[in-house]
Structure 1
Amino acid sequence: MIIFFLSLMPIYYLFYFLLNKVLSSKLQPPLPPGPTPLPYIGSLISMLRNKPTFRWIHRMMDEMNTKILCIRIGNNHVIAVSDPKIALEFLKDDDGIFSSRPVSMSTCLTSAGYLGTVLTPMGDHWKKMRKIVSKEILSRARHEWLHKKRNEEDENILRYIYNLCKTDLGATRGLVNVRIIGQQYTNNMIRKLVFGNRYFGKGSEDGGPGEEEIEHADSLWTILVYLNAFCVTDYFPWLRWVTDFDGHEKKIRNAILMTRRYQDPLIDKRIQQWNDGVRTQQEDLLDIFINLGNPQLTIDEIKAQILDMNLAGFDNVFNNIEWVMAEMINQPRIFEKAVHELDLMVGKDRLVQESDLPSLNYIKSCVKEALRLHPVTPFNVPHLTTASSIVGGYFIPKGSHVIVSRLGLGRNPEAWDDPLTFNPDRHMNGNKYVVLTDHNLHTFSFSTGRRGCPGVLMGSTMTIMLLARLVQGFTWELPPNELYVDLKENLNDLTMAKPLLAVAKPRLPHYMYPTC
């Protein structure tokens, strides 16, 4: 009898297991729709055959007529979302279980082993760094403390463009590469706020970047290109021991090495100055990081956080400014309206200042419209699901990577009339005070929830101020023989396919332009 019962036990457990699986499959909601995965590798082959991956994902969402898509790659479920209501469930309503970050090759290398804030998974270290950044670095009080330094960079970019207006570039005087202007302004600003200096080297006499600054900017852009770039070895980590399958690792390592070659020696030197008593007063953000008392940061944490800040601030401003200027040049009515607002609220006898920004609703609407229609990246930084959940009526397994489509939210026909048309007036209706944030996620500007960007004030101020100075200080025309700006997107990212070139001409009295 004992032998008989023992022989029945495996059959009983097998039957119990299969019954539970059948019952749970009936009770459990389905996964979001998506391509049928192959055993073990999932949709890897389709992903590799359809580069760039973000366009393949959006194409599948359109073909399957769904606002939430599930793609399995290896053992990972990638959940893509383009609906504001569903996105709010992930990023705000239930963000307690959706606020962590996936571990990947690119994020680990970039954050020096997750020592920064943006890319770091949830935990005590993230809480410590987030608190420091929010209260000590990006607070309103610190923003006011840094006002003079920001003003110096606002004036320098004006000086640089004014100098270009006096210079013949090829056959055209005043020909300006707007993308370079945006990159230079952002990089100079971050360097001034963090290190107290505009340049790593000597820069150029006309106020433009030098070789060091150009190389540093190129390295930052390379890091951003390969950060969270659907790398095969992120889904099959064992491949890293065999080969750099996509070639991503070598490129991002070299870019990080180049970027930190410029930044880290300045940090080491400053720490030594404080240790030797040579420096005694706090003058910039690096001084603040070094002198934090409780908790005190290690040298490696300071270096990782400063790279974090450079990456977070680099691409948003230049991408937004290039697109908004291109759209405004193509639609002179919009440009004239922005000029009129500046002339009315500020005048032509003084330069626009940060104190004027609250009253410049149309300028802010132009910036917000570019954020909506032309986001800097197709998706947000991925979120990691720390527990299985049900969102939008679908089952979301623990360990899923959740990516919210900035394109899908901003170009959603259910949220926006005529969504593919650049129309700043849509943000003016009934709004006495236009802001760039959108906690309803109809526009993905600074996100929301626990992982919402703490740099809203800094990022908004820099972007709005740069556009206001460009519009107030100059008229902008297309180069000779060009009738309109080609608004085509780059295939592999969301920048303009061709950098915006425009001819700038001063529109204010010459004495108002900074000369040094």
Structure 2
Amino acid sequence: MNYTHSFLMLLRQSSRPLFLVMFFTFRVIKTLRYHLNENPKKRKLPPGPKPWPIVGNLPEMLANKPTTRWIHKIMEEKNTEIACIRLGNVHVIPVTYPTIAHEFLRKHDIDFASRPVSMASDIISNGYLTSVFVPFGEQWKKMKNVVANNLLSPRRHQWLQHKRNEEADNLIFYVYNKCNNGGLVNVRIATQHFCGNVFRKLFFNTRYFGKGMEDGGPGLEEIEHVDAVFTLLNHVYAFSASDYLPWLRLLDLDGHKGKVKNAMIIINKHHDSLIEERIQQWNDGSKNVEEDLLDVLISLKDVNNNPLLTTKEIKALLIELIMATVDNPSNAVEWILAEMLIQPELFEKATEELDNIVGKDRLVQESDIPKLNFLKACAREAFRLHPITDFNVPHVSTNDTMVGNYFIPKGSHVLLGRRGLGRNRNVWAEPYKFKPERHLKNDGSAIALTEPELKFISFSTGRRGCPAVMLGSTMTIMLLARLLHGFTWSAHPNISRINHFDSNGVISLDEPLTVAAKPRLAAELYEF
């Protein structure tokens, strides 16, 4: 006997309103039973902790700092390489396996091409006027085109080579002066400020905001500038509770908003006057020749021959670009030198390659980079084992999607694990050992710093991929090559071992690497 049919017939004999209520209730229950019971795989989320109502797993997140370590612990306990952690109403999906990461950014790239809205990214991007932090839409398309085609194209890269050369020479000059004044070099200062100098030279056509230093090192203004940039990098996606419960934003419980605003004040103090003065020069005709990338941005025109970018867009874009310039090359090279102090044979291999290809009668140049395979292998290994952050910039799903047999709800934040991918035991043999040789090719062909299979992350890929691969690769290898070719490095007598720490997703040496350096080339090569 069909009990459903009999039940409906009985209801029809009752009053009509009661019949309608009961009928729709019956249909809702039947639909829920289908989704929750009869077809459970269709809505199966990745494994994760059971969330509380409304707040999700925020109480656990706030009680377990740093958040990135807590996320990795959850994934270890669940024995999974993709997880789901609900923070407020947001499903946060960390991923540490290349195949799944590849599925997100290749097969379903269009569904995960947006960015989350957050307190820090809103402030830094001046209301989402830039490229990296902007949700998917027309503004992102506009700014991506500007960056990729007008700032970071191969033609522009070649055009600005002389400026990068000046900073590579200044790096040698600065370290050489340190050698003559005690021999100790703070590698973090040298690497971070080489990157800061390159940015300032490319965009502002200057090395210094102030009077500068006679030894080629950073002045107080440059130290303040770079420190503020790293403050923004450390807080832009730092799991602030207010990003998941927006009504908490006014309270600034974790202090992130105050730190971000203070860093922005410092950066704007150095940037804004230069940008506004340059715009005025172009407007009054006192300048009409492009000398750097700021000139390029100001000169861009739309179809009606009006300025393509507003002053606010230019200011916001420059802040985003320096954030993308200073962190990865400086962190990777500092780690490589630290690893070479532990394994001196690596330094011997690197200098042997440099001496064979470059010799000792000249300084290494950008034209030598294609042949420096061992140095590029060292850089790849640093990106794999020692990434600057635990997770990449989040991707936001714009549709309900199935990935890896799991349901990924619309609005989820997908986090590709830089450390998790690079240290995955199912992918890498001896994952915690620094072994550049693993990246060398048997046929000796050229090596790139990119990793399209997402076995680790050097430069982001996909629709929201990094447009600065050429610039980032060049800066990283030139920084490393100049330091290794120009100097012999040895540990400070007070350094017994090298540690690293993990704080709020930032992975760096416990203390800035301070080591002894000695020139290894002819004295005249250090005279600029």
CA distance in 2 between partners of 1:298 and 1:429 (Å): 47
- What letter corresponds to residue 484 of structure 2 in structure 1? V
Task: State the 1:294 CA deviation.
Answer: 2.5
Separation (CA, whole Å) in 2 of partners of 1:476 and 1:152 = 23
What SS does structure 2 have at the residue aligned with 1:494?
strand
Which residue does the alignment assign to 2:231? 222
Q: Which runs of 5+ in 1 are unaligned?
A: 168-172
Matches within 5 A, 1:243-392: 243-294=251-302, 296-392=308-404
Residues 312-348 of structure 1, C-alpha deviation per residue, up to 9 Å, x if partnerless? 1111111111111100111000100000000000000
1:176 aligned to which of 185, 194, 198: 185
* Aligned-partner Cα distance in 1 for 2:527–2:405: 58
- Trace 1:329-478 onto structure 2 (pairs within 5 A): 329-430=341-442, 431-478=444-491
Could you tell me how far apart the structure 2 residues matched to 1:46 and 1:155 are?
50
**How far apart are residue 140 of structure 1 and its match?**
0.5
Point out 4+ residue stretches in structure 1 off by more than 6 angstroms.
none
Aligned length: 508
Q: Which runs of 5+ in 2 are unaligned?
A: 1-11
State the one-letter code of the partner of 2:295. Answer: D
1:361-407 per-residue CA deviation (whole Å, 9 max, x = no partner) reads: 00111111000000011000001000001000000000101001001
Counterpart of 2:32 in structure 1 is 21
The residue matched to 2:83 in structure 1 has which SS?
A: strand
Q: CA deviation at 1:481?
A: 4.5
User: 1:74 offset after TM fit, Å?
Assistant: 1.0
CA distances 1:143-164 after superposition (whole Å, capped 9, x unpaired): 0000000000000010000001
Give the 3-state SS of the residue equivalent to 1:489 in structure 2.
Answer: strand
* Residue 488 (structure 1) aligns with: 500
Query: 1:83 & 1:268 partners in 2: Cα distance?
Result: 46
Are the equivalent residues in 1 in contact too, given 2:195–2:329 (CA < 8 A)?
A: yes
Q: For the residues of structure 1 that align with 2:416 and 2:485, how far apart are their CA atoms? A: 36
Q: 2:246 aligns with which of 234, 237, 253?
A: 237
The two structures, once aligned, show a CA RMSD in angstroms of 1.2
Distance 1:501 1:12 in 2: 76
Q: CA deviation at 1:66?
A: 0.1
Query: Is 1:490–1:496's contact at 8 Å kept on the other side of the alignment?
Result: no
1:488 Cα offset (Å): 2.5
Q: Are residue 505 (structure 1) and residue 518 (structure 2) matched? A: yes
CA shift digits 1:178-225 (9 cap, x unpaired): 011111100000000001000111121110111111111111111111
Larger radius of gyration between Structure 1 and Structure 2: 2
CA distance in 2, matches of 1:244, 1:491: 19
The TM-score, its normalising length taken from structure 1, stands at 0.97
Looking at structure 1, the residues matched to 503 and 160 of structure 2 have their Cα atoms a distance apart, in angstroms, of 38
- Equivalent residue letter for 1:499: P
1:489 shift after superposition:
2.6
Shift of 1:448: 1.3
CA distance in 2, matches of 1:60, 1:276: 60
How big is the shift at 1:288? 0.2
**Is 2:54 the counterpart of 1:45?**
no
Residue type matched to 1:113 in 2? G
1 CA distance for matches of 2:310 and 2:247? Answer: 31
Paired with 1:92 and 1:78, the residues of 2 have a C-alpha distance of 19
Indicate if the aligned counterparts of 1:156 and 1:514 stay in contact, CA closer than 8 A: no
Give 2:154's aligned residue.
Answer: 140
Cα separation, partners in 2 of 1:339 and 1:133, compared to 1, 3 Å: same
Q: What's the % identity of the aligned pairs?
A: 51
User: What amino acid is aligned across from residue 473 of structure 2 in structure 1?
Assistant: S
Counterpart of 1:176, as a letter, is V
Conserved in 1, the CA contact under 8 Å of 2:35 and 2:43? no
CA contact (8 A) 1:363 1:464 kept: yes
- Aligned partners of 1:150 and 1:189 also within 8 Å: yes
AA aligned opposite 1:244: D
Q: Distance in 2 between matches of 1:366 and 1:514?
A: 29
Q: 1:158 to 1:418 in 2, by over 3 A?
A: same
The counterpart of 1:198, out of the listed 180, 204, 207, is 207
Aligned residue number for residue 211 of structure 1? 220
CA distance in 1: counterparts of 2:275 and 2:74, whole angstroms? 46
